[in-house]
Structure 1
């Protein structure tokens, strides 16, 4: 029974709690039992207070028994990447320089989770300052392989049935890549749709809040709860909250058309990925065409690097000046390169984002979504690196919505994700297209 509860999707768990079929305390207890069993090997959690998690669950159950209003995530546990401020838990950002930091308030994303009724189960492991130096987390499918990063703990915790949902962030490939390596759904919405207030800042131009789940329905449920306007995030615009779940469940007016986009980095894919995509394209015969992006997209990785490293130098100036000897050599090198970036080069790179999106908009008049790799292949062996983010970089730079679907399996039996990319601001359509794709593949497999 414990394993069955821990394996529930968030949508099913929330419904069962609302109907009184299970309690939040039972669900949280099942997740805690799963953590107790698997955490020593996987290491997904930076902070976990069992008693406090159960206290939140009991309060949720009491609220329901008293007939008070409940939210869409009422009583459902969620993991929070340890770069989001939490007023009742430490926020240490994966670095000894922030050890023991206790924020006075919640990040906006965390406060929205609480408003939706979620139980904040604990803080999940991040890489050092959410960049590249790995934390302690291991891949749930093979403990000798990386889970990806920087949202390592969030992806691993969801994949290991420790928690049905988790939030993370992406500045390069930190949601899509670990989702691919761990075999879960990962969603990076359009830039500016989820507030980053109270989240560790790397780059205003590139930072996104993302979500992890074990079903598309859960992706939509969690992301929709987080898409509330916040004037404290300068890149948010006042708009109606997207109806992700409703639109996702609708039938498309016509069968979607896909563009198979290899990107300029296709030669970095592994044989398993190439074979998997060949099978996928064959299943979509008549609905997919190969698309070669304009040559200008070949420069996108350099533009992303220029922006990211310059912004890292700015965001982590204090850490560099006061604690350089306690930062990883890799991060120190990135910061020092960023300190040398010229303003003219930075501004030129930023200006290219709009140009790239204008070109992408022309493509999206013809296609509902791009099919492209989420990562080069299976999670690589070893724990010294979090893997190559190259297949995420372009879409993060452009700020378009991206979704990792756990559709493929490599030669070692490990998951390989397929990345679905949509038009800027059209997140609901992307999820609807993904649901159509899931159903199409399920039918083909019968």
Structure 2
């Protein structure tokens, strides 16, 4: 690691080096903080960051190692936390002035698990307003005039800019996959219910899902090993045996995967760059890819998702609407008002379609290993008034299927262009294995060099 600034190391490499005594957690955090000082004015990824508090955690981790205490799989490694995820020692303001200064009494389940694994909680990353559409202050690390995506904008940007090797986000529509694609990092949304949402801002219990951002697939697998578990406080989860994500993801597939390429009815929304890049990718995959049409039952997914999301958001944010609607953005206020007008019949009918949608993909997954589809319509749009179109993520979020954005391509403007792979529910580790195979097949797991692309900011 001597020829690489430590802030650019992966979480897995950093954890191994700390465990071996090659580096200290304090030194790693110092270099990450130095990177923050270099680029935060341009990127603006952090909502709350106390350098001394981060260093105190790092020193405590180093002291524990010197004393021979147990070393966790992320011992001493700094992690960014989306600012809708509760932290007992830092504010959690949810991207809204209505929660300004709010400091929770306890950590969210995912934060507690990260601490138990030895991680240093670096700080809170910027989110959009209540994790919805209205953007926060974060800029795309590759070009500050372009959106980083949302709502997990700060987490994706912090990883892409070399401020932390790993960060947590969440997705209710496209809030992990889209910013990962725009910022040129790996973004993973596991199967719905694999990771506890206890202590995370609730928008939609049907759709809210946790996610991870990293600069390597090994780091994604490591994060899943730490975070996937049952939690009686989140009824979507259940007790389960430990899944060896890293071991499975590193394996060679027993047979070369067969990939289903699905354009979806949204293909006309894609940019020329996206169409050309996917044409090249399909050609490179040869007989390992087949083009497939969506099941007819999936064609109204956007409407079903909107009905469920807005009805549940209206209930989840009823206090914010009742006491502070004038301080909400027009966009969020309109969403909540539409949600309040949805009938119980329409809501329950939409919910009942989800199991049928999932069943509609069973035959496809019996033939094919994964679905290949765009993560986004194109590279990050210029302008900061929008976080981009999440529509290419909506169906997979609605079905609760695992999805990953791979930073394998770039547009003619030099910005990253994500590739989305979707797997069958509860086959998350196999999805990561296929993702690694695909990255190797097209040339390199670092086909898009995020360090080179953002080091000049």
Could you state the TM-score of these two structures normalised by the residue count of structure 2? 0.96
Q: Deviations over 1:85-110 (max 9, x none)?
A: 10000000000000000111000000
| Residues 145, 382 of structure 1: 8 Å contact kept | yes
2:455 aligns to what? none
1:25 aligns to what? 26
| Residues 147, 156 of structure 1: 8 Å contact kept | yes
Stretch of structure 1 that moved more, 72-81 or 235-244 = 235-244
2:116 aligns to what? 115
2:17 aligns to what? 16
Write out the 4+ residue segments of structure 1 that deviate beyond 4 Å after TM superposition: none
Within 5 Å, give how 1:163-312 maps onto structure 2: 163-312=164-313
Residues 242 and 56 (structure 1), Cα distance of their counterparts in 2 relative to 1, 3 Å cut: same
| Residues 297, 360 of structure 2: 8 Å contact kept | no
SS in 2 for 1:209: strand
1:78 aligns to what? 79
**Number of positions where the alignment pairs a residue of Structure 1 with one of Structure 2:** 445
Gaps of 5+ in 2: 448-457
Gaps of 5+ in 1: none
For 1:223 and 1:212, how far apart are their aligned partners in 2? 11
Residues 41 and 302 (structure 1), Cα distance of their counterparts in 2 relative to 1, 3 Å cut: same
Q: Deviations over 1:228-251 (max 9, x none)?
A: 211100111121132211111111
| Residues 65, 71 of structure 2: 8 Å contact kept | yes
Stretch of structure 1 that moved more, 113-122 or 292-301 = 292-301
For 1:2 and 1:234, how far apart are their aligned partners in 2? 47
Shift of 1:224: 1.6
SS in 2 for 1:56: helix
SS in 1 for 2:47: strand
Q: Deviations over 1:158-183 (max 9, x none)?
A: 00000000000000000000000000
SS in 2 for 1:136: coil
| Residues 156, 183 of structure 2: 8 Å contact kept | yes
2:318 aligns to what? 317
Q: Does 1:147 align with 2:184?
A: no
Q: Deviations over 1:141-196 (max 9, x none)?
A: 00001000000000000000000000000000000000000000000000000000
Q: Does 1:348 align with 2:349?
A: yes
Q: Deviations over 1:117-141 (max 9, x none)?
A: 0000000000000000000000000
Q: Does 1:339 align with 2:340?
A: yes
Within 5 Å, give how 1:24-63 maps onto structure 2: 24-63=25-64
| Residues 3, 34 of structure 1: 8 Å contact kept | no
For 1:2 and 1:217, how far apart are their aligned partners in 2? 21
2:423 aligns to what? 422
1:378 aligns to what? 379
For 2:154 and 2:377, how far apart are their aligned partners in 1? 21
Within 5 Å, give how 1:126-145 maps onto structure 2: 126-145=127-146
| Residues 171, 210 of structure 2: 8 Å contact kept | yes
